[in-house]
Amino acid sequence: MISHIREEVVEKKHWTDSDGLSDIIAIAESTPGPIAINLATYIGFKQAGFFGSLAATAGVVVPAFAIMLLISLFLDGFMTNIYVAYAFEGIKCAVAFLIIKAGVEMFFLLPKKPFPIAVFAAVLIALLALEIFSVSFGSILFIALGGIVGLIFFMISSRGRENEK
């Protein structure tokens, strides 16, 4: 989803640049709710104010809601069909690929500075370790810790700049 959104809002529509979208994604990930809705609401607001955010949010929510409503009406019949079951297996693989692709794209958009790369490496190692040892640790906590580390780094680096003056 993020790759598709990046293609639409950065490359096709030019509503924001890659850095701006990365900032929006960081905000959207740290707020409750699905990222697509949060991104659409924010970008809609930046483009056309309140009514832009309302239209963008409806544009993301209404089609997904309609599709899920239709699927739920026929779900039992769908799941007994072997073709549908195999299709869902393929969809799971495609979704995993899209998530990895979005992560790789965001990694390459990171500023090539020691701090962002160090945070990325620390989070990657922590996620792998938690997964290997089957420890449950919420993604919200990772986001909060990342924000705290970023604030601490900012405070330390701005004090260093003040002392140089």
Quick: pLDDT tens for 81-132: 888 888 888 999 998 888 888 888 888 887 788 888 888 888 889 888 888 8
Q: In which band, very low, low, confident or very high, does the pLDDT at 7 lie, cut at 50, 70 and 90?
A: confident
- 44: its two tokens: 């809609």
Report pLDDT for 160: 62
Q: Is 28 exposed, middle or buried (0-12, 13-18, 19+ CB in 10 A)?
A: buried
Closest CA to 21 of 63, 31, 11, 91: 11
Q: In which band, very low, low, confident or very high, does the pLDDT at 162 lie, cut at 50, 70 and 90?
A: low
Distance (Å, whole) CA 55 – CA 53: 6
- 38: its two tokens: 């949060």
Q: In which band, very low, low, confident or very high, does the pLDDT at 161 lie, cut at 50, 70 and 90?
A: low
| pTM recorded for the entire structure | 0.51
Q: Which helix (H) or strand (E) holds 154?
A: helix 139-164
Sign of the dihedral through C-alpha 102, 108, 113, 114: positive
More confident residue, 92 or 27: 92
- 43: its two tokens: 């970008």
Report pLDDT for 120: 83
